[in-house]
Structure formats: structure tokens, C-alpha cells
Amino acid sequence: MLRLPTMFLLASALAGCAGSDPASPQDEQFEVTPGTEPPLGKADQSAPMMVEVKMMIATSDIARATDALHLSSAKAETREVYFYDSPALALFDAGLILRARKVIDGADDSTVKMRPLQSDGVSQGWFDLEGFKCEIDQVGTKAIPSCSLTVQQSQGEIDDVAAGTRTIDKLYSSEQELFASSYCAVAPSWDALLALGPVDTRVWKVKTSKLSVPMTAERWELPDHTLILEVSVKAPQSEAAAVQRELAAYLDHKGLSVDNDQETKTRAVLEYFAPGR
């Protein structure tokens, strides 16, 4: 008569161990929502410098990551992303990125981004503009400061540029053009730029009880169906190293490998489309 209770207690103990195992999916709470960008606003100069920690998932693990992180297309924000550069990527090599994002059922925008560029290396007047920000991109062991200016675009304008009925410079405000010419050693020759893209993009915001900060997952698909999956988290500069370790441990815990060549997705996409590279 003692065997049944003993077996019951043993089974209960094993069940308890399974419930406390970090690998058990039952003890991880998930919330996955579309990765919608916050509304454009002015940068808060009194706030700590933010660091965006980025990690590229190994190509062989992208399908597994999609399942493990609950990245369904139904929960994603869908975008088409274009870049604009010379055939040999002269602007990118000089640190200047010109990007436009067409957001399905959302607000389109265009961005001028300069990196490396320290926040204390730009005139203070830029911080008075909506859509201007400075942050640090942390990719592997590289920490690259950048500043960017984003403006909203009217629906259809990005498509018009892709169709050739609107010139590329019409996507950028006079302030964006001034920012580009002020901080890039290679001034854009707008008439000579090419539209590179589009890249089909899906973006998710993932909140999990296993991470102290929300995670963004962004999947880019090239025309040849090559997939790029980047996950990222943001934190104040003083906390960035700890958050980077936390994200790396979480991905490892999920059995997801990080690409050894932590090339940015922007570089990979530009080199795919650029005829001169």
C-alpha cells in the first residue's frame, strides 16, 4: 500500500522539476505584437544615451527562431524598405545611409542616418527637430554611435520614386539634405542615386518574462528568398553590457545560434542590390 503514494510523490516531484526548468515553455510568458515605431518626436537630451544591441540569427536557425519566438506573419508589421546610394555604395562607405520605409497600414517615412557620429559632434539645433535622435548601435563587440533624422512621407510617394515618376530627392526634406551634406564627407549627388530594393520586411515586438526589456525581431527577405533575422533590445548606455549578456544567454537557452559574421542587415542588403559591388 506504500508503493502508490511513493510513486505519486515521485511523479509530483518530477513534475515540479519540469515546471521550474527554465527550458520549460510553461514558465515563459509571451506577448507578441506588431513592431510599430513610436510617433516621431523631439529627442530628450536630458535622457541617458540609448544603445540598441543587435544580434543576427544564424541562417540555419531562422526557421527555429520563428517558432521559438512566436513570430507569426499575422502579428507582424509589414514594411517595404528601400535604400538610395550610388552603384558602388559611395554614401554607405562614407557612413551615410538614405532609407525609406513603406509601412502597410501605417505611416511611411524616410531617414537620413550618419554613422559613426557622436551626439556631441552635432549642433544642438538638430535636437529641436522632430524625428532627430542619436544612439549607439552595438553589433557584436562594435559600438557605433549614430545620429539620424526621420520625416513622415505621404502615402504613395515611395512607390512613385520606385516607378521613376518622382525623383529621390523629393523624399527628403531640406533639413534632411542639410544634415547629410553637413556631416558626410561625400555629398549626395541626388540625380545619380539608385533605388535599392524593395526588401520585404516583417517586424515584431516581443515581450517575454525571460528578458528584462522588450525585444524587437526584424526579418528581411531578399528577392532571391534569402532571409535575414535580427533581434535587438534597447537600454541606457550604463546597462547595455548587462542587457547584451542577457540577450545572448536567452538566445543560447533557446538553442539559437548567432551568426559569427555579425554583418549589419543594412550592409547585406545594400551589397545584394548594388550593381557596383
pLDDT in tens, 209-234: 999 999 999 999 999 999 999 999 99
Question: What is residue 15's predicted lDDT score, i.e. its pLDDT?
Answer: 35
| Rounded mean pLDDT, 40-62 | 92
The arithmetic mean of pLDDT across residues 56-69, rounded, is 97
Q: What is the pLDDT of residue 275?
A: 85
Geometric angle at alpha carbon 152, from 265 and 170, rounded to 5°: 90
What is the pLDDT at residue 42? 87
What mean pLDDT is predicted for residues 7-17?
A: 33
Residue 124 phi/psi, 5-degree rounding, is -65, -25
- The answer to whether 92 and 189 have CB atoms below 8 angstroms apart is no
pLDDT of residue 90: 96
What is the arithmetic mean of pLDDT over 267-273?
A: 92
**What's the confidence (pLDDT) of residue 26?**
58
Averaged over 17-44, what is the pLDDT?
73
Residue 111 has pLDDT above 80, yes or no: yes
Q: Give the confidence band of 178 by pLDDT, cuts at 50, 70, 90.
A: very high
User: What pLDDT, on a 0 to 100 scale, did the predictor assign at position 262?
Assistant: 65
Mean pLDDT of 70-79: 97
Alpha-carbon span 234 to 238, nearest angstrom: 11
Q: Domains plus CATH for the chain? A: 29-273 (2.40.320.10)
